[in-house]
Each structure stands twice: as C-alpha cells, then as structure tokens.
C-alpha cells in the first residue's frame, strides 16, 4: 500500500501523463519552455516536501520544501499550483482525507505558513495577477522580501487565499473545501478505461465547466471563456470517444497560441490524489 506522499507524487505523474489535455504538457505535447520530462522531474523533486506534510509538518514549510525540490529540474515552475492543493490534502490524509478535515487543515494555517508560502516564490517564477492596490506590499512576486509585510499584516495562509478569490481557482479550492478536487476524484472513479484516458476526460470536463483562471490571468477573461466554451462543445459531443481528432486539434491549437489552462490541470492532479488515496482508482 502506498503512503500518502507516494500517492501525491504518483498523482503528479499521472496528471502529466493524461493525454490529450488541451493547452497543457502531455505525452504528445511540450510547451515552449516546459517539456514532459520537466514535469516528471518536478514530481520526483517535490517528494521530500510531500513527505513532510505526511509526517505532520505545517502546511507552509512543507509546501516551500516541495516547491524547492520541484524547482531543481530545468523547466522552472511545473507544479506550483498542484502542490498548493496536494500539500494540505496530504496533511489531511494523516487523519481522514475528507472535505471537512481538509478544510480544517487549511483554516488552521498560521502567519508562519504564509511566510513560508512567500518564500516558495524565491524558487520559481509563477504567473500571478497584479495585487489590489491595498495589497501592493503583499505582492507574492516579492517572495521573501514581502515576509515582513506579511508578519505586520498578521495574515494566515487561509486568509491570504480568501483575499485571492475570485481570480485564483487554486485559492478558491482552499476556501470552498476543495470541492472541485473531490468532484474530479468522483469522476475519475466513475470513468472507464486506463487512468491516463480517465485523466484526459476529467480534465476536459472540468475545463468545460469553469473558465481557467490561469488563462484569464495570462491572457484575458474573454479568452478563458472561449476556451471553456470550446471544451464544452467537445464534451457535449462526447468527442473523446466520437471524434478524438477534434480534441487533438483543440489541444494543438491551444499550445500553438500559448494558452495554458494550468489551474484546471492542478485540480485534476488533486482529484487524482484523492482517488488514489480512496482506492477509487488503481495503478
């Protein structure tokens, strides 16, 4: 039986192996500066931080360690958002991997966790939106330089995530009890076929339901809505079964245009972890 940390690492590996995942790295597609092997190395590198969470370490330091390990590969940021979901879920699995326990884990975070979260930005370049004017001194892109402001404001990591919604759907998972992550796990359990095919199907279903906030941040909300509408048309047509070439063409188009629904991939990875821990899928 795998440990929670091992299942979290496996979830990261299975997420990138899911193919096709329009706009994201998969077995058939690389991005301009991120390749398939970078994600494999990132998953392996994150293991030490995931082990810390499994052993009961605080969420912030475990997350920073996971990101630091992830960043040792040559592609820079591969799984920052996924780790921000996985670390508290792994921590919750010490007791019970359920929504109430996961919600309790994030609500119990401290200012120290927030400081460690900011230090994680020293390791990688993460695409984030500009902060509101009243939070300029808390711009996460300042990394550890912003820690004194974090301590002055006295913000816990959960409170910081609350301030990041709307606009960041990884933060939204923290605030809403990881609801889409658990939905993704249920869909993975109910789907048929190899896990890589299930992963692709669940990713597309999530993308069809809600505009990806990373796309909105890097491009604009209209682009994010258009991607979701196109995904919805493919899901409605059951295109992965009836017209897989159309899904492949959609995937190629997004990669060529530099449109990366990375937040949806992060939630898919969290769903994979939950499904693995619950033994709803097996590998």
Contact 33, 75 (CB under 8 A): yes
How far apart, in Å, are the Cα atoms of 187 and each of 5, 184, 228, 253? 22, 5, 18, 26
Question: Per-residue pLDDT averaged across 169-184, rounded?
Answer: 98
Model pLDDT, residue 246: 98
Q: Nearest CA to 218 among 59, 23, 28, 26?
A: 23
Look at residue 35 and tell me if it is in a domain: yes
Look at residue 207 and tell me if it is in a domain: yes
Percent of the chain topping pLDDT 90:
93
Look at residue 188 and tell me if it is in a domain: yes
Look at residue 283 and tell me if it is in a domain: no
Full domain range(s) for residue 262: 4-277
Q: Does the pTM exceed 0.95?
A: yes
Judged against a pLDDT cut of 80, whether residue 133 lies above it is answered with: no
Judged against a pLDDT cut of 90, whether residue 75 lies above it is answered with: no
Look at residue 156 and tell me if it is in a domain: yes
Neighbours of 245 (CB within 10 A): 8
Mean pLDDT (the chain, rounded): 96
If one compares 228 and 131, the residue with the highest pLDDT of the two is 228
Helix (H, G, I), strand (E, B) or coil at 237: coil
CATH number at residue 233: 1.10.4200.10
Residue 178 in tokens: 């990881």
Look at residue 73 and tell me if it is in a domain: yes
Judged against a pLDDT cut of 80, whether residue 79 lies above it is answered with: yes
Look at residue 282 and tell me if it is in a domain: no
- Ramachandran sector of residue 143 (left: φ over 0; alpha: ψ -120 to 50; beta: rest): left
Number of domains forming the structure of the chain: 1
Judged against a pLDDT cut of 90, whether residue 237 lies above it is answered with: yes
Model pLDDT, residue 134: 75
How many angstroms separate the CA atoms of 9 and 7, rounded? 5
Question: Per-residue pLDDT averaged across 212-229, rounded?
Answer: 97
Question: Per-residue pLDDT averaged across 77-88, rounded?
Answer: 97
């Amino acid at each position: 039986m795998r440990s929670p940390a091992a299942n979290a690492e496996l979830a990261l590996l299975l997420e990138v192996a899911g193919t096709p995942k329009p706009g994201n790295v998969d077995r058939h597609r690389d991005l301009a500066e991120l390749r398939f092997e970078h994600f494999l190395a990132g998953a392996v590198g994150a293991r030490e931080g995931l082990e810390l969470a499994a052993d009961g370490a605080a969420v912030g330091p475990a997350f920073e360690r996971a990101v630091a390990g992830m960043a040792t590969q040559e592609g820079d940021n591969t799984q920052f958002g996924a780790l921000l979901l996985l670390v508290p879920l792994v921590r919750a699995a010490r007791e019970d991997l359920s929504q109430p326990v996961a919600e309790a884990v994030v609500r119990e975070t401290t200012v120290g966790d927030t400081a460690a979260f900011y230090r994680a930005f020293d390791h990688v370049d993460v695409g984030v939106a500009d902060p509101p004017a009243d939070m300029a001194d808390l711009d996460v892109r300042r990394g550890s330089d912003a820690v004194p402001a974090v301590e002055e404001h006295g913000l816990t990591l959960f409170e910081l995530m609350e301030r990041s919604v709307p606009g960041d759907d990884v933060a939204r998972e923290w605030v809403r009890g990881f609801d889409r992550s658990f939905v993704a796990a249920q869909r993975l359990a109910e789907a048929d076929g190899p896990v890589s095919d299930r992963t692709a199907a669940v990713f597309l279903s999530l993308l069809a339901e809600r505009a990806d906030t990373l796309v909105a941040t890097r491009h604009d909300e209209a682009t994010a809505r258009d991607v979701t509408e196109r995904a919805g048309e493919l899901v409605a047509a059951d295109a992965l079964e009836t017209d897989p070439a159309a899904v492949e063409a959609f995937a190629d188009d997004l990669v060529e245009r530099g449109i990366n629904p990375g937040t949806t991939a992060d939630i898919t990875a969290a769903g994979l972890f939950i499904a693995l821990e619950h033994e709803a899928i097996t590998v």
